[in-house]
Structure 1
Amino acid sequence: MQSESALLARLRGTIAQAKAVASAHPPVPLGSEAADRALGGGLKRDGLHEFYAAEPQDSPAALAMALLCAVRCRATGHGAPLLWLRERKARSDGQPYGPGLAELGIDPDSVILLDLPDLMAVLRAGADSLHHGGATAALLEMPGKASAFDLTASRRLALAAARMGMMVLVARGCAQPVPSVAHSRWRVASAPSAALAADAPGHPVFDLTLIRHRGGKEGIDLRLEWNRDEQSFRAPLSGGVSAPAIGGADRSGGRRAA
């Protein structure tokens, strides 16, 4: 049997190693102080995160939220490109538009778009991209049922993300959550934005519900606004005043401020 001093030394070594790994891949803060505090610092940088549309019409919002989280990861990281992997059939929902990305504060040159024939090709390309590294984050767009994205496929992506220190974001439109090893899983809906000066369209606003979290923080409701100039999320502004950002469902199905 190990002596007490040897056991303590081993435990100290294990703790030091865990701290070193954590410091190498610090969480990605969303930018809202209250939201980041609730999430324990932000999203796991070397983790797998899923974004499900609350309703079919919210599919663009789920995709946008996943993309903006990838942008946030890049803004707080080493500035490597973003990988966006999508099935060719997703063209029917529209193609990424350079000026539109720029309007969100995204440099189109920072995004590498792979237009792939089917879901299996998306999963293979995602795994290969993680294996070789060189990117800040990988966004996998998976509309519809996507039966090939099962527990095994998610485990492969999560392990590769942890090994390479890359964030993996999966956007699911018109789909129901399925078992996976995702570090976090979100339900996303679009929310009304406040008009800017001269009645110009406001910043994108999202209603989010954290439906799974490996840190045990499920059930958090957030309303976040994207600030394109700072490439960061914040509590929505209403007449220049920060609106409540975190709450829960009341008995009528609405929201209450925390």
Structure 2
Amino acid sequence: MHRAAPSALPDLRRSLAEATLRMRPAATGRVRLGAAEIDAALSGGIDRAALHEVYAAGAGDLAAATGFALGLALRAAEEKAEDAVARPILWIRQDFVDAETGRLHAPGLNELGLDPARLLLVRARDAEGVLRAGAEGARCPALGAVLIEPWGEPRVFDLTASRRLALAAEGSGVTTLLLRVAATEAPSAARTRWQARALASRALEANAPGQPAFALRLLRHRGGVRGDVTEREWRVEWDRDRHRFAERSLFDRSSRTDHAAPLSRPLVPVSGDGQAAADGQDSGFRRTG
């Protein structure tokens, strides 16, 4: 892993510059979620070259917000026919997020469809480090997506800072996602703002674990929405094999299992520091620098 300290940022810049030489410029246009109703409401999906925000509905929905943001990142980073390899995803996390929720767990991310080899993980000591590393990533056209995860409501993440990230994303064509943990809505330059809540998954055959399920609410869309969309709420599942979201059926929308309360601290994609230290196994992440 690469710590985004002032002395280490040049290493991050070199890594991103090398990636830029190996890749074509990022595509423009829109990123389709795969769920027909949502894509239609958004005129084809979310803007690729833009900043987007994802909030957890509550403390117990952090894993859901993380999973939804990662799904958007994977959709944005889908391999293009002219690229030799899939584009990497840069994930910048504040250390305090690890301390409060546990570190990212490579097998859990793989279960969501992300090959850990495609992940460039940066850990920053404070919100300022997260912002600086995020701005570097948002300017790199070789990346498939940038996921920025600070903790709480730091002062450095103000409207001006979000405008810088938005301009960087527009200039590079890289989808930039701001995952807000332990934070409330605030003015920003994000093109869309989402709220994610955990839903109970539907078991597969032989009672196998079902697909990750989310209740999504579109809190803000700068371009407006198409059609008669008043609620701006959808219930979706994440297809781990096809890397796409799909709406739940009308029957499932009225099912009581959809409203089951999430488990306390539902940290499926992460692993606690104590276990990681005890087994001594490699997390499987790529290192930058």
Q: Which runs of structure 2 are paired with 1:175-254 in the superposition (5 Å)?
A: 175-217=183-225, 219-236=231-248, 242-243=249-250
When Rg is computed on C-alpha atoms for both structures, the one with the higher figure is 1
Higher RCO (CA < 8 A, seq sep 6+) = 2
Query: Residue 58 of structure 2: which of 41, 48, 55 is its match?
Result: 55
Give the structure 1 partner of residue 118 of structure 2.
Answer: 110
Report if the CA contact (8 A) 1:220-1:246 is conserved: no
Give the structure 2 partner of residue 161 of structure 1.
Answer: 169
Query: Residue 68 of structure 2: which of 60, 65, 70 is its match?
Result: 65
Report if the CA contact (8 A) 1:235-1:245 is conserved: no
Unaligned runs of 5+ in 1: 1-23, 237-241, 248-253
SS where residue 110 of structure 2 aligns?
Answer: helix
CA distance in 2, matches of 1:213, 1:90: 27
**Residue by residue, what CA displacement relative to the aligned partner does 1:167-225 show, whole Å, maximum 9, x if unpaired?**
00011122101100100001110111111111122111110111110112385111110
The residue type paired with residue 48 of structure 2 is R
Q: Which runs of structure 2 are paired with 1:55-134 in the superposition (5 Å)?
A: 55-75=58-78, 77=80, 79-92=86-99, 93-134=101-142
State the aligned residue count: 220
Give the structure 1 partner of residue 159 of structure 2.
Answer: 151
CA RMSD of aligned residues (A): 2.0
SS where residue 163 of structure 1 aligns?
Answer: helix
Q: Which runs of structure 2 are paired with 1:136-147 in the superposition (5 Å)?
A: 136-147=144-155
Report if the CA contact (8 A) 1:35-1:246 is conserved: no
SS where residue 35 of structure 1 aligns?
Answer: helix
Provide runs of 4+ in structure 1 moved above 4 Å: 244-247
Report if the CA contact (8 A) 1:63-1:172 is conserved: no
SS where residue 157 of structure 2 aligns?
Answer: coil
SS where residue 33 of structure 2 aligns?
Answer: coil
The residue type paired with residue 156 of structure 1 is R
The alignment's TM-score, normalised by the length of structure 2, stands at 0.72
Once the 2 structures are TM-superposed, how far is the Cα of residue 246 of structure 1 from its aligned partner? Answer: 9.2
SS where residue 174 of structure 1 aligns?
Answer: coil
SS where residue 75 of structure 1 aligns?
Answer: coil
The alignment's TM-score, normalised by the length of structure 1, stands at 0.80
Give the structure 2 partner of residue 17 of structure 1.
Answer: none
SS where residue 154 of structure 1 aligns?
Answer: helix
The residue type paired with residue 41 of structure 1 is G
- The 1:221–1:124 alpha-carbon spacing in structure 2 relative to 1, beyond 3 Å, is same
CA distance in 2, matches of 1:158, 1:37: 24
CA distance in 1, matches of 2:250, 2:231: 20
Q: Which runs of structure 2 are paired with 1:21-32 in the superposition (5 Å)?
A: 25-32=28-35
The residue type paired with residue 32 of structure 1 is A
Work out the percentage of aligned pairs sharing the same amino acid. Answer: 42
Report if the CA contact (8 A) 2:55-2:196 is conserved: yes
The alignment status of 1:34 with 2:30, answered yes or no, reads no
- The 1:181–1:246 alpha-carbon spacing in structure 2 relative to 1, beyond 3 Å, is farther
SS where residue 66 of structure 2 aligns?
Answer: helix
Once the 2 structures are TM-superposed, how far is the Cα of residue 132 of structure 1 from its aligned partner? Answer: 3.5
